[in-house]
Amino acid sequence: MKINIGVSTASLYPLHVEDAFAEIARLGVKSAEVFANSTREAGEPFISQMCDIRDKNGMTVTSFHPFSSPMESVFLFSTYDRRIEEMIDMYSGFFGSMNKLGAKVFVLHGAILSSKCTVSHYLKQFRMLSEVGREYGITVAQENVHYCLSGRLEFLKMMKRELGDNAKFVFDLKQARRSGENPLEYVDALEEHIVHCHLSDGDESRDCLPIGKGNFNFELLARKLFSHGYSGALIVELYRDNYGGFDELKGSVDVLSEIVDKIN
């Protein structure tokens, strides 16, 4: 089974996205998630620059994460038609850029906990964006984020129950820790609906570390994912103050690769 294992450009913030992508390539990592830190970075010339780097280094772009996630509460998940239309237009443009990059998964945070978005409206808006994504061949996937409605496993289970095959998820390990829930329960509950993973290690005092620097059992996680037919990417996503040199990103990829090779 071929599993793409890579790094998110978000891990190298505040490097500009094309510079972060180039550094990931320099490290010898063959897969990457693109995190656009501005609307400009989701367009030209930056998309073409990253495509050139991708092609020269034999890389794969697995996914796309927009800087606009904090805006989703007051745009996409509001009830104000012009703001909703504006975000749909923006995200449609992002989907077009994803097609150029070859990325297939769009990472969505959704409405924050303090929003007044009802469950029925949330489902309606998620379904609408998913349908737009499908027109571009893109899978819109809900990430579990501790300060959002999606931070609660029960909310994600509700999405899975109500949306059926339309419910797709990004499993973020550090965010599960920050929600105070057992990360492995996400996999057991969401099963094959998980299409993408953001991974980091942790221990009793730190919730985001390079892979292998904490005490999380990644082999158990991988076996659980694969038992449900998981074929998505495993993307290392760290915050810049959680590690030292960029070589630790490559080291994290290497640890994950060894685990996946062992299982296969």
User: For every residue of the chain, which 3-state class applies, written as one string?
Assistant: CCCCEEEEHHHHCCCCHHHHHHHHHHCCCCEEEEEECCCHHHCCCHHHHHHHHHHHHCCEEEEEEECCHHHCCCCCCCCCHHHHHHHHHHHHHHHHHHHHHCCCEEEECCCECCCCCCHHHHHHHHHHHHHHHHHCCCEEEEECCCCEHHHCHHHHHHHHHHHHHHCCEEEEHHHHHHCCCCHHHHHHHHHHHEEEEEECECCCCCCCECCCCCCCCHHHHHHHHHHCCCCCCEEECCCHHHCCCCHHHHHHHHHHHHHHHHHC
**Span 62-68, mean pLDDT?**
98
Q: Dig out the tokens for 122 from the structure.
A: 């949330």
CA separation for the pair 173, 184 (Å, rounded): 9
Confidence (pLDDT) at 264: 86
Helix-helix angle 119-135:81-101, to 10 degrees? 40
* Total count of residues recorded for the chain: 264
Whole-angstrom distance, CA of residue 171 vs CA of residue 52: 29
Q: Which residue has the tokens 């703001």?
A: 83
Per-residue pLDDT averaged across 101-120, rounded? 97
User: Can you say whether residue 17 is alpha, beta or left, with left for phi > 0 and alpha for psi between -120 and 50 degrees?
Assistant: alpha
User: What mean pLDDT do residues 196-210 have?
Assistant: 95
What do you get for the CA distance between the two ends of the chain, in Å? 7
Q: How confident is the model at residue 103 (pLDDT cuts 50, 70, 90)?
A: very high
Cα separation, 36 vs 23, in Å, equals 15
Average pLDDT of span 234-252: 97
pLDDT at site 2:
87
pLDDT reported for residue 1: 66
Structure tokens at 39: 């609307």
What is the rounded average pLDDT for all residues in the chain?
Answer: 97
Say which CATH architecture domain 5-263 belongs to: Alpha-Beta Barrel (3.20)
pLDDT value of position 135: 98
Do residues 236 and 250 lie in contact, with contact meaning Cβ atoms separated by under 8 Å?
A: no
At residue 134 the predicted structure's pLDDT band, cuts being 50, 70 and 90, is: very high
Give residue limits of the domains in the chain: 5-263
In degrees rounded to 5, what are phi and psi of residue 191?
50, -130
